[in-house]
Amino acid sequence: MKKLLLSIICSLTAVFAFGQGKVTFSPASFTAEDEVTITLDITGTPLVGQTAIYVWAFSNDGVGGGKDATTNGQWGASSESAKMTLVSANIFQFKFVATTLFGQSPAELINFGFLAKTKDGSKQSQDFKPFKFDPLVFTPSQFRVFPAKFDYTDMATVYFHQDLATDINLQRMYNVKVNLTFYNEGGIAVGSKTAIVAKKESTVLYSYAFIPERVITIPAGTKLGKFTYQFTGSVKDANGQDVTTSGPVNEVVYTVFN
């Protein structure tokens, strides 16, 4: 029974021992959209005995496209939002959701690292890195978009799973295309593009990947609030003639990353 309990606990947390300090994550594995708790043991680091330490975090170490955490503040004056919670002597915790912490979408986040420091930066730990984010798992559906969260500057991909269609016309549709319409934060349409040829990824899967600014000209000073997408195509009528058919219009709201 004790062995079983230990196995369960280990499956919920991941422990990383470094030359100085020990890092534990809960849950043990996580995506960029999950809430994660870092537990840091500063034993053996220059921070031993401190009662107030701060996280200094950064994304995508060594792979490009990284950002400092939005909570970092200045090296000589860490933000209070980066302060770790003192649990017991030399043990601190910090909770975060990566998309919020780094102001990046799941598609942009590959890994992250961090160090702990005093508020003024006079003492610090080594870098603890890199920790990889798990890929997001999607549930197949007739229509979907990847990633689950992104802003209007990110690349997004819309999908049509024809094998999951319930409408007979959508099941038979060919020459598949996509219509896109983009809206500002007030819900006013600011641009659209129709009849974009979809990529046929397999016999039953169509997709289209895009960045809004490469599809339409976004008016100066405008932030997009959402977009809609619709897959269209052709089917044969009773006389063997091509007729146009289309799926529903699907709306996707952009996420605002701080």
Q: For 176-193, how does the pLDDT look when each residue is reduced to its tens digit (9 = 90+)?
A: 999 999 999 999 999 999
User: Using one digit for the tens of pLDDT, what is the confidence trace for 228-257?
Assistant: 999 999 999 999 999 999 999 999 999 876
> What does the alpha-carbon distance between residue 126 and residue 113 come to, in Å, rounded to a whole number?
11
Domain span holding position 32: 2-132
pTM, whole model, 2 decimals? 0.57
Let me know if residue 201 belongs to a domain: yes
Q: Which of 253, 223, 31 is nearest to 150 (CA)?
A: 253
Let me know if residue 137 belongs to a domain: no
DSSP 17: E
Q: What is the pLDDT of residue 139?
A: 74
Which residue, of 97, 132, 167, is where some domain finishes?
132
Query: Based on the domain organization, do 105 and 152 belong to the same domain?
Result: no
Centre a 10 Å sphere on the Cβ of residue 50 and count the other Cβ atoms it contains: 19
Q: Which of 182, 183, 157, 151 is nearest to 256 (CA)?
A: 151
Query: Based on the domain organization, do 30 and 126 belong to the same domain?
Result: yes
Query: Based on the domain organization, do 153 and 65 belong to the same domain?
Result: no
Let me know if residue 258 belongs to a domain: no
Which residue, of 103, 132, 161, is where some domain finishes?
132
> What does the alpha-carbon distance between residue 173 and residue 76 come to, in Å, rounded to a whole number?
61
User: Using one digit for the tens of pLDDT, what is the confidence trace for 16-26?
Assistant: 555 567 999 99
Let me know if residue 80 belongs to a domain: yes
Question: What is the domain count for the chain?
Answer: 2
Let me know if residue 248 belongs to a domain: yes
Query: Based on the domain organization, do 28 and 81 belong to the same domain?
Result: yes
